[in-house]
Amino acid sequence: MDFKGRHLLTLFDFTTEEIKYFLDLGGELKKEFKEHGGHPNREPLKKSLGMMFEKTSTRTRVSFEAGIWELGGQPIFLSFRDTQLVGTGETPGDTAQVLSRYLGGIMARVYKHKTLQDLAKYSTIPVINGLCNLYHPCQILADLQTIREHKGKLKGLKLVYVGDGNNVCHSLLIGCTKMGMDVSVVCPDDYRPDEKITKKVLEIAKKMGTKLEITKDIPSGVKNADVVYTDTWISMGDEAQKEIRLKIFKDYTVNKELMGHAKSDAIFLHCLPAHRGYEVTDEVIDSKQSVVFDEAENRKHSQKAVLLAFMKD
Ligand code: CP
Ligand code: NVA
């Protein structure tokens, strides 16, 4: 696999085989870490990762920071607020050219996907999307690793995403379809996933021979689900719409009744942070079916695979 000169902005840019490579390597790194508490048989990475955050984070920051350190590299945390991007309005292009002279890679969490594209355009080092308005690819690599661990496979499974057709939903549509899974999105009419992204995913689904369904009907959408997934109704940046969103999504809580429409051995995933009592009830997220903390753990393992793939000489 050759990832030289490439960036990880969206899973659209990666083949089924490349995604599988990340998952396999993530699995290997997880095993090594469990056995040795590190990677004693690998050459240390000895490179720095700039971690730029325009929005808050717990998992992405900590998993990347711990991950690069465990590989023998170094993290440098850069809050947008404290950089000249915001301080003096330095452009993403100039910022990327400067950072390319110091670092081995950039991970960025931003509001607009365009900011990532601008960083990538001028960067001579890999730029990794740590979440933007449209995508959250690193989350989905961890999700796929988690599903494969619990179900033993991906191909042929049905994942049902319940809630807002947001960044996480978009990346799930792409990643799951590329891995041969059927995807059903259960959401209110006005909160369907982006039309252009859906169209592109439909083309992939056609090639892969998988199904993609978008419906507002919970019982039929969730039927036969192997995986039930939800995310917040109010993503970072959507706070002004809080009141209206709480009303519109109130029937889309993943509760015991909703899980009853899925297969009896279905697993529950959530990228976290969870808003208990809103998109998911305690009884579901704390149930035996829930694998949300394995999922959160796998952020670190699967991202270490990404860091090695993109940053190793
Ligand atoms: N799932 C996820 O990206 O979590 P954080 O916002 O805490 O990074
Ligand atoms: N959709 C959420 C994901 C948080 C990890 C957001 O963008 O805020």
Q: What domains lie within the chain, and their CATH numbers?
A: 11-136+296-311 (3.40.50.1370), 140-293 (3.40.50.1370)
Which among 20, 1, 21, 19 has a CA at the least distance from the CA of 10?
Answer: 19
- pLDDT band at residue 284 using 50, 70 and 90 as cut-offs: very high
Inform me whether the pLDDT recorded for 14 exceeds 90.
yes
- pLDDT band at residue 87 using 50, 70 and 90 as cut-offs: confident
- pLDDT band at residue 188 using 50, 70 and 90 as cut-offs: very high
Mean pLDDT within 123-139: 98
pLDDT of residue 178: 98
Mean pLDDT within 29-33: 98
Residue 241 among the catalytic residues: no
3-state secondary structure of 24: helix
Mean pLDDT within 114-127: 98
Inform me whether the pLDDT recorded for 152 exceeds 90.
yes
pLDDT of residue 265: 98
Contacts of 179 (CB under 8 A, 6+ apart): 16, 19, 20, 144, 154, 155
pLDDT of residue 289: 98
**Residue 216 near residue 164 (C-beta atoms within 8 A):** no
- Helix pair angle (59-70, 292-311), 10° resolution: 50
Could you tell me the distance, in angstroms and rounded to a whole number, from the CA of residue 263 to the centre of ligand 2? 27
Which among 206, 203, 141, 150 has a CA at the least distance from the CA of 176?
Answer: 141
Please give the single-letter amino acid code of residue 83. T
Mean pLDDT within 68-74: 98
Mean pLDDT within 13-32: 98
* Per-residue pLDDT tens over the stretch 228-262: 999 999 999 999 999 999 999 999 999 999 999 99
Q: Which mutation among 132, 138, 168, 270 tests ligand 2's pocket best, with the greatest number of atoms within 8 A of CB?
A: 168
User: Residue with the nearest Cα to atom 4 of ligand 1?
Assistant: 59
Residues of the chain with pLDDT > 90, as a percent, come to 97
- pLDDT band at residue 1 using 50, 70 and 90 as cut-offs: confident
Inform me whether the pLDDT recorded for 158 exceeds 90.
yes
Residues within a 6 A CB radius of ligand 2: 131, 166-168, 231-232, 235-236, 271
- pLDDT band at residue 86 using 50, 70 and 90 as cut-offs: confident
Rg of the Cα trace of the chain?
Answer: 19
Q: How far apart are CA 126 and CA 8, in angstroms?
A: 7
Residues in a beta bridge with 76: 50
3-state secondary structure of 200: helix
Please give the single-letter amino acid code of residue 122. Y
